[in-house]
Amino acid sequence: MEKVSIISLKDIAVSFDGEPVLKGFNLSIGDGEFVTLLGPSGCGKTTTLRIIGGFVRPDSGDVFFNGKRITALPPHKREVNTIFQKYALFPHLNVYDNVAFGMRVHGKSERAIRQKVGKMLDMVDLRGFEYRNVNQLSGGQQQRVAIARALANEPKVLLLDEPLGALDLKLRKDMQVELKKIQKQTGITFLFVTHDQEEALSMSDEVVVMDKGAIQQIGTPLDIYNEPKNAFVADFIGESNILDGIMREDFLVEFAGRRFRCVDKGFRTNEPVDVVIRPEDIDISKPDDEKLTGMVQNVTFKGVFYEVIVDVHGFKWMIQTTDYVKSGEKIGISVQPDEIHVMHKSEYSGKFGDYSTFSDEMGDDVQPLPKAEGAE
């Protein structure tokens, strides 16, 4: 099913002060989709957005809008609108005038403007706030004004630069739902930038995972989660145990000193690979010779499940389970074949996926430090 792409980037390269930010960057965005650029800070996702918005001229490469080259087109001539990180509302204008700004610039009649502003404020639930000073609004309200202001311009594409970053958790969840609703309602293409993987997974039709100025993987949230392409994606999206393995033959992979049936094929015989196993896909049981066995090191109650760190021959596994185990207990670990995911080796191999230095990675925006390899 080939979708019409509304925006495409071809071979984009950008550097600031000699530091490359994007290199050989290609991306194509389907009309009417909710696409998310996801990556740690400094990965080039905001720069990508600013190139599409027209605020950054790429050093090389081209930007196409509906098939037309717009690389050199200034921002005010592009049919895209942006919601900025801190909203960039005009402090000298009230809510009404902020929303009306774009239409006034385009010389619309005041009558048409009044109608449209009313419609927009209805949509974002801000009826009655017309003559408020924008500085007196709460963060969430300012966010809504920014959305109304951008959409009043009837853009073909809406660019959102970490728009929910400044809101507290509860509000963020509400706005996620609301943004998704608005996107469905209007049918406008949304290009959303975030470093929050959960946000990306729950809102998007398509997720573009970026790191170090390059795309690591593009896919639906499900693809990205279940079939990560490399250790970076596996680690950045959710929790993963990433082990060194060897692909013995199709459907047979060896790791942790044992051979496992799996559902992956097409690797060279005896190719070294990375093996990903999600913590929630691991079953624990009484230890026996058939299974991997390990020592429970740490158990944390997380509400719905227990998070268990298990030492298996020096490699620390993370397991999420509803069964209670005690610290110091010896347990067996088993994994179903379809829950083993095999990836080719990449530059990220060996940097992630061992929980020996694990300490509740709260901030997803913090780039994971290279961890010492636990398993030899």
User: Torsions phi, psi of 7, nearest 5?
Assistant: -130, 135
Beta pairing, strands 157-161 & 80-83 = parallel
Task: Provide the minimum distance between the beta carbon of 256 and other proteins in the complex, in angstroms, as a whole number.
Answer: 50
Work out whether 132 is an interface residue with other proteins (CB under 8 A): yes
Instruction: Give the nearest distance from C-beta 149 to other proteins in angstroms.
Output: 7
Computed from CA positions of residues 59, 16, 207, 170, in that sequence, does the dihedral angle turn out positive or negative? negative
**Secondary structure (3-state) at 25:** strand
Amino acid present at 289: D
Q: Are 22 and 2 in contact (CB under 8 A)?
A: no
Q: Check residue 111 for interaction with other proteins (CB under 8 A).
A: no
CB of 349 to other proteins, least distance (A): 38
As a whole number of angstroms, the distance between CA 262 and CA 249 comes to: 10
As a whole number of angstroms, the distance between CA 52 and CA 374 comes to 42
Among residues 81, 183, 216, 241, the one that binds other proteins under rule CB under 8 A: 81
Q: Which of residues 155 and 294 has its CB atom nearest to other proteins in the complex?
A: 155
Nearer to other proteins, 74 or 370 (CB): 74
CA distance 33 to 200: 13
Q: Pick the binder of other proteins from 26, 41, 105, 122 (CB under 8 A).
A: 105
Binding segment for other proteins (CB under 8 A), chosen from 78-86, 162-170, 173-181, 361-369, is 78-86
Kindly tell me which of 116 and 351 has the beta carbon lying closer to other proteins: 116
Q: Quick one: 115 or 357, whose CB is closer to other proteins?
A: 115
* Shorter beta-carbon distance to other proteins: residue 106 or 265: 106
- The Cβ of residue 345 has, within 10 Å, a number of other Cβ atoms equal to 15
Half-sphere exposure of 103 (CA within 13 A, CB side): 22
Q: Quick one: 154 or 283, whose CB is closer to other proteins? A: 154
Interface with other proteins includes 74 (CB under 8 A)?
A: yes
Cβ neighbours of 344 (radius 10 Å): 14
Q: Distance (Å, rounded) from C-alpha 276 to C-alpha 295?
A: 20
Q: Is residue 58 at the binding interface for other proteins, with CB under 8 A as the rule?
A: no
In angstroms, give the least distance from the CB of 101 to other proteins: 5
Single out the residue of 90, 168, 272, 313 in contact with other proteins (rule: CB under 8 A): 90
- Give the Cα separation of 339 and 148 in Å (integer): 44
76 binds other proteins (CB under 8 A): yes
Provide the 3-class DSSP secondary structure of residue 203.
helix
Task: Determine if 326 is a binding residue for other proteins (CB under 8 A).
Answer: no
Is residue 119 part of the contact set for other proteins (CB under 8 A)?
no
Per the structure block, which two tokens stand in for 237?
A: 């999206």
Binding of other proteins by 82 (CB under 8 A): yes
Q: How far is the CB of 121 from other proteins (least distance, A)?
A: 16
**Residue 45 to residue 195: CA distance in whole angstroms:** 9
Task: List the end-to-end C-alpha distance of the chain, in Å, as a whole number.
Answer: 44
Tell me the two tokens of residue 23.
């290199």
> Pattern of binders to other proteins over 141-180, x per CB under 8 A?
--------xx--x---------------------------
Return the amino acid letter for 111: R
Q: Binding other proteins by CB under 8 A: which of 3, 4, 24, 106?
A: 106
Q: Residue 133 interacts with other proteins (CB under 8 A)?
A: yes
Q: Give kind and range of the element (H or E) at residue 181.
A: helix 169-186
Q: Give min distance, CB of 158 to other proteins, in A.
A: 11
Which residues bind to other proteins, rule: CB under 8 A?
17, 53-55, 74-76, 80-82, 84-86, 88-92, 101-102, 105-106, 132-133, 136, 149-150, 153
